[in-house]
Structure 1
Amino acid sequence: MIQQYIDLPTLKYLLYNVHGLSNVLKLDRYKEHDLESLGLFLDSVKEFSDRELFPYFREMDESPAAFKDGEVIVHEQVGVMMKKGGEMGLICGPLDYEIGGLQLPFIVHTAATYILDTANNHLPGYLTLTLGAAELIIHFGNTALKDTYIPNMLSGKWGGTMCLTEPDAGSSLSDITTKAIPDKDGYYKIKGQKIFISGGDYPYAENIVHLVLARIEGAPAGTKGISLFVVPKNRMEDGELVNNDVVTLSDFKKMGQRGFATTHLGFGDKNNCRGWLLGEAHHGLKYMFQMMNDARIGVGRGAAAITMAAYQASLEYARERTQGRKLRSSGKKNPNESPCLIIEHPDVRRMLLLQKTIAEGSLSLILLAAKYHDLQLAENDIALTKKYGLLLEMITPIVKTYPSEAGAIAVSNGLQVLGGYGFCTDYILQQYYRDIRIFSIYEGTTGIQSQDLLGRKVLMAHGKGLELLLNEILETITEALTMENLAPYAKILGDKISLTQEVTAHLMPIAKEGDYERYLADANLFMEFLSHLVLGWVWLDIAARAQQNMLEKNKTYSTNFYESKIHSMKFYFKYELVKTNALAESLMHKDVLTLNTGKDYF
């Protein structure tokens, strides 16, 4: 029997009932699809995951990716993932029919990839990075580049990566030094090194197509001088693949996600590495950020999936493990009673409910972002396209950060449910705990995401993005106020909107004065504050849908299922949403304590 690693009914409930997949399918772009066929697609992904992903999850951790004799060695299931991923449409899924895609709604493709992530988070990255690289070539490449690379990438025959980080630049992309020297034959000679390249090398793809940020000789300093190049591991010459002077220097040894190769690559050590300019010169960072925005949703999705899988594992343990006895009204335990299941203890239930609310809330948040992506792409109304584009921009930093940070807390609580066993390798929780830690670092750390949220997204379009987001929240509040049992919680969330406006009113003058270092000094607190507001909204929306379904006597799910969603909302409001008060107090506090004033406090 396969251990439970996902709550598929909840995934489908959020997809169909909460986020209204049927309404997305009314858009012209997706009219060829229907709910039944998409449901079968998700079921097939689950069956594939049961068979080819989850059974190898622990094995990939125990026999991690390695670097030996100049080659990267990975588990053979990487080959299965690439081959079957291509065959099942898991790489090409959201792309246009004209280029070999299935034109799936991104929300459905996100749900499918989430299933893969819950089963084995070490494997789907090989697919999603290939898709991301292919998308950039499709959007910005010329016909020759598309014809050369896209068919083989979408089939899973060739892999793909993005190469940003360098040994001496880290997250400061303006400082990259990889060079691109133009050649008279139309290509560029690439020379430099890139580190932390996920899926950067492995033997189960005939070729790996790297998208490399580099600086053309003579380009201006800073981010404005960065261009993007297609740099394959093996280049095509006279119909044959030949070595392109891309060398794997090492594979990083990691505490988690050990089955996902993370390489250090060298380009042009023999001065024979060729790259082809993608799009226009000096626009590379702008192009790469299109891939990175989707990748940030993917990071949130992966973290949400690990949180769900860890919750399922700790829930299963709590339902089987007996220990201790329940307290009676006298405040004493009866030593003659048999031990009870630990799920009967209030503190264990608190930890499980915390996991549940973070796992399911994160999943709903991820699907919301994917829906905004679909609506932005497929709406014919220009005003609506702009609206959903702004909403997507606004929530993307939260979508990446909340599941990663709160998810780590949730998994930690899951490990605690197991007590001492949680710390032992006999049980799977310790692996989830190690695996999830990287997600708050992937694609820009929490600090970077927080500065993006407060420094760019809150200020963009003169605050229009935040205004639209608060209006979306107000719509849910207005609906919930009509439901007697939800009205008190709707009022609480309404008060949090007022608190948000108070916080931003305090911060905006600091930004207008040009004191950006002070303005952004507590950006991470603002990220946490706004994340709690958004998740409060997510949970109120789930509860409102559940309440409506019960009123309509919708028997697709049990009454207990619907009531569990409302109960989870109440838990989130009591234990998590209240944290906004303390965060607001810190954000508006008169003391500024983290700026460097020249005094050494360390």
Structure 2
Amino acid sequence: MAQQYVDMDTLKFLLYRVHDLQTVLDQARYADYDQASVDLFLNATKDFSDKELFPFFREMDAAPAHFKEGEIIVHPQVEKYMKKAGEMGLIAALFDYEVGGLQMPNTVVSAAAYIQETANNHLPGYVGLTNGAAELIIHFGSKALNETYVPKMLTGDWGGTMCLTEPQAGSSLSDIITVAEQAEDGYTISGQKIFISGGDYREAENIVHLVLARIKGAPAGTKGISLFVVPKKRRTENGDLISNDVNTVGDFQKMGQKGYCTTHLSFGDEKDCKGWLVGEANQGLKYMFMMMNGARIAVGRGAAAITMAAYQASLAYAKERPQGRSLTRTGKKDVSQEQTLIINHPDVKRMLLFQKVVSEGALSLVLLTAKYHDLSTTHADPKEREKYLLLLEMLTPIVKTYPSEMGSVSVSNGLQVLGGYGFCTDFILQQYFRDIRIFPIYEGTTGIQSLDLLGRKVTMENGKGVLLLSEEIGKTIREALGIDTLAPYAKQLSGKLELSQEVLQFLIPFVKKGDYQRFLSDATVFMEFFGNIVVGWLWLNISIQAEKALVSGETQYTGDFYTSKIHAMKFYFKYELPKTTALAEILTNKEVLTVAEENSWFA
């Protein structure tokens, strides 16, 4: 029997029942879609993933992308995947009909991407970056840029990237030094970019780079950054493609995601690299953050997908592996009995349940964030759009971080389920463990996301985003209080919501005094604290829908399916939610240990 890498029943239950996709499909933009058509799309994506992604997952790890004689060699499936994804509309799915898109909801496209990422997390990045680069050109580029680049990108014939990081700058984008000098036919680009995912590969006819650079004479810092389209190859007047002096000077060999190439690019070594300005000068960072925010949600989705795939693999192993014997009523083992399956051991169940609550909770978070994205742009009521935009802003750093950080812990538990075999290359868990480790680093590290959450999102509009999110959590609590079996858990979550207010009441005065360093010194702790509460809210909501289905006798899924969701919620509320108490104690401790400049601490 083929290995199951994704739980389609859980995905559809969360999509249709828990997060009520119909509220998105009701918007005028999506009038051509209903649940039946969405089901067809998701099922086709699963079939595509079964055939074109999962069978190559381990191969791509065993034969990594690598630099050779000035170019990147990738697995042959990369080219095939890009073309087939283009044919299926997976690259163009989000875009308007007018540009060749399918005009699908982000929520549905995210669900389809999640399926692919559970099957093979090395391949979808090539499509995701191409989609993001095309989106920037469509939104901010001139008609000429759109006509020149977008059609080939949407078919998968040309790839796309985002080029931000430089050797001397890292995450500090204000320090980038790539230069753009105005010329007769655009700009001449010179500089270097590192850690460029999907930055080059031999099989691609062309790759369209979205490059942050500083126009000569522009203001210092982020205010002087502009955005440029810089293709690997540029068109001549007669339509031929010629080199654009974009050179791959090396690659980065990684501990995981080895099939997803990461390159070091040099622009303008021969002073013949042409770039074309996107939008207005000195607005590049603002434009790029449209792609960055989407990329951050995609990173969380990718981590959630790996977490789910690892859970499915360790669960399958636990159901097949006999070892040891169950304890008798006397507390001793009866060696005359046959060995029991390891899934019958309480500690293995604990690890599997931990994987379940993290993987399914992370998926729920991803789908809710995608739903907020849809409603923030398509809802008929402007006030509702504003509300959903603020909710989206609140969840974006959390959806990037929780699946990445807790997913890493979850996959580690999955490896532990296999014992010594988990550490061996014969089994797939070690690959998931290596692959997921980059996700807390991708597109802004956990520390950066935590600064964004506490330093920007919590304080924006005088705390309006926190208030709106608290109101949404409160609605779920009130509904659960009306269900006898769930009321105790609703009260527990209510107490944690109150605790979050106490923590913020302790921290906010530091902002008012202008002591931002103290305010943000434990931002990463706050992220863990607040993310834990948010996922607790999602699990309570999942259990409400499962309980309703049981009471009504709904038969779309089995009774065991619904009961398992409620049991998972109880596990989360026993083992995970109480951790917020200790985190709150850290956050409200008056002793400051990481702020003062004192290097002797590390003597």
For 2:208, the equivalent position in structure 1 comes to 209
In structure 2, the residue corresponding to 1:57 is in which secondary structure? helix
CA distance in 2, matches of 1:458, 1:514: 16
Residue type of the alignment partner of 2:98: E
For 1:344, the equivalent position in structure 2 comes to 344
Residue type of the alignment partner of 1:206: E
The alpha carbon displacement at 1:44 in A equals: 0.8
The alpha carbon displacement at 1:204 in A equals: 2.5
Deviation string for 1:460-482 (max 9, x for gaps)? 01100010000000000010000
For 1:527, the equivalent position in structure 2 comes to 527
For 1:545, the equivalent position in structure 2 comes to 545
CA distance in 2, matches of 1:140, 1:383: 25
For 2:47, the equivalent position in structure 1 comes to 47
Counterparts in 2 of 1:195-594, with a 5 A limit?
A: 195-238=194-237, 239-594=239-594
The alpha carbon displacement at 1:553 in A equals: 1.4
For 1:26, the equivalent position in structure 2 comes to 26
CA distance in 1, matches of 2:187, 2:464: 42
CA distance in 1, matches of 2:182, 2:10: 53
Residue type of the alignment partner of 2:221: G
For 1:6, the equivalent position in structure 2 comes to 6
For 1:135, the equivalent position in structure 2 comes to 135
Q: Quick check: 327-336 or 354-363, which moved more?
A: 327-336
CA distance in 1, matches of 2:158, 2:386: 35
In structure 1, the residue corresponding to 2:235 is in which secondary structure? strand
CA distance in 2, matches of 1:444, 1:485: 41
For 2:60, the equivalent position in structure 1 comes to 60
Residue type of the alignment partner of 1:463: G
Q: Quick check: 41-50 or 341-350, which moved more?
A: 41-50
Deviation string for 1:411-443 (max 9, x for gaps)? 000000000000000000000000000000000
In structure 2, the residue corresponding to 1:227 is in which secondary structure? strand
Q: Which runs of 4+ in 1 moved over 2 A?
A: 596-599
Residue type of the alignment partner of 2:157: K
Residue type of the alignment partner of 1:472: E
CA distance in 1, matches of 2:597, 2:212: 35
The alpha carbon displacement at 1:236 in A equals: 1.0
Deviation string for 1:384-431 (max 9, x for gaps)? 010000000001000000000000000000000000000000000000
The TM-score, its normalising length taken from structure 1, stands at 0.99
For 1:88, the equivalent position in structure 2 comes to 88
Residue type of the alignment partner of 1:234: K
CA distance in 1, matches of 2:519, 2:245: 46
Deviation string for 1:340-399 (max 9, x for gaps)? 000000000000000000000000000000000110111121100100000000010000
The alpha carbon displacement at 1:566 in A equals: 0.4
Q: Quick check: 201-210 or 159-168, which moved more?
A: 201-210
Residue type of the alignment partner of 1:105: P
Deviation string for 1:502-543 (max 9, x for gaps)? 000000000111111111000000000000000000000000
Residue type of the alignment partner of 2:262: T
Residue type of the alignment partner of 1:293: N
In structure 2, the residue corresponding to 1:441 is in which secondary structure? coil
In structure 2, the residue corresponding to 1:380 is in which secondary structure? coil
In structure 2, the residue corresponding to 1:322 is in which secondary structure? coil
CA distance in 2, matches of 1:526, 1:505: 13
The alpha carbon displacement at 1:598 in A equals: 3.3
Residue type of the alignment partner of 1:445: T
Q: Is the 8 A contact 1:161 1:211 kept in 2?
A: yes
CA distance in 1, matches of 2:49, 2:531: 31
Q: RMSD across aligned C-alpha pairs, in angstroms?
A: 0.6
Q: Is 2:104 the partner of 1:97?
A: no
Structure 2, unaligned runs of 5 or more: none
The alpha carbon displacement at 1:596 in A equals: 3.0
Size of the alignment, in residue pairs?
A: 601
CA distance in 1, matches of 2:484, 2:322: 39
In structure 2, the residue corresponding to 1:320 is in which secondary structure? coil
Q: Is the 8 A contact 1:163 1:197 kept in 2?
A: yes
Residue type of the alignment partner of 1:20: D
CA distance in 1, matches of 2:386, 2:22: 22
State percent identity of aligned pairs: 65
The alpha carbon displacement at 1:597 in A equals: 3.0
Residue type of the alignment partner of 1:199: G
Residue type of the alignment partner of 2:405: E
In structure 1, the residue corresponding to 2:576 is in which secondary structure? helix
CA distance in 2, matches of 1:596, 1:223: 27
Residue type of the alignment partner of 2:439: F
In structure 1, the residue corresponding to 2:75 is in which secondary structure? coil
For 2:149, the equivalent position in structure 1 comes to 149
The alpha carbon displacement at 1:98 in A equals: 1.0
The alpha carbon displacement at 1:22 in A equals: 1.7
Residue type of the alignment partner of 1:579: K
Deviation string for 1:210-252 (max 9, x for gaps)? 0000000001110000000000000111211110000001110
CA distance in 2, matches of 1:362, 1:307: 9
CA distance in 2, matches of 1:594, 1:26: 50
In structure 1, the residue corresponding to 2:207 is in which secondary structure? strand
CA distance in 2, matches of 1:459, 1:129: 31
The alpha carbon displacement at 1:203 in A equals: 2.1
CA distance in 2, matches of 1:136, 1:2: 39
In structure 1, the residue corresponding to 2:439 is in which secondary structure? helix
CA distance in 2, matches of 1:560, 1:467: 36
The alpha carbon displacement at 1:161 in A equals: 0.2
Q: Is the 8 A contact 1:2 1:50 kept in 2?
A: no
In structure 1, the residue corresponding to 2:438 is in which secondary structure? helix
CA distance in 2, matches of 1:552, 1:196: 52
CA distance in 2, matches of 1:456, 1:49: 38
CA distance in 2, matches of 1:560, 1:511: 49
The alpha carbon displacement at 1:177 in A equals: 0.3
CA distance in 2, matches of 1:303, 1:82: 21
CA distance in 2, matches of 1:595, 1:60: 44
Residue type of the alignment partner of 2:456: R
The alpha carbon displacement at 1:182 in A equals: 0.5
Residue type of the alignment partner of 1:195: I
The alpha carbon displacement at 1:320 in A equals: 0.2
In structure 2, the residue corresponding to 1:491 is in which secondary structure? helix
Deviation string for 1:129-173 (max 9, x for gaps)? 000000000000010000001100000010000000000000000
CA distance in 2, matches of 1:326, 1:242: 69
For 1:181, the equivalent position in structure 2 comes to 181
Residue type of the alignment partner of 1:237: T
Deviation string for 1:246-282 (max 9, x for gaps)? 0001110000000000000000000000000000111
The alpha carbon displacement at 1:80 in A equals: 1.3
Deviation string for 1:299-347 (max 9, x for gaps)? 0000000000000000000000000000111111101111000000000
Q: Quick check: 384-393 or 545-554, which moved more?
A: 545-554
CA distance in 1, matches of 2:512, 2:442: 31
The TM-score, its normalising length taken from structure 2, stands at 0.99
Residue type of the alignment partner of 1:589: N
CA distance in 1, matches of 2:598, 2:200: 45
Deviation string for 1:37-69 (max 9, x for gaps)? 110111111111111110110000000001001
Structure 1, unaligned runs of 5 or more: none
The alpha carbon displacement at 1:599 in A equals: 4.7
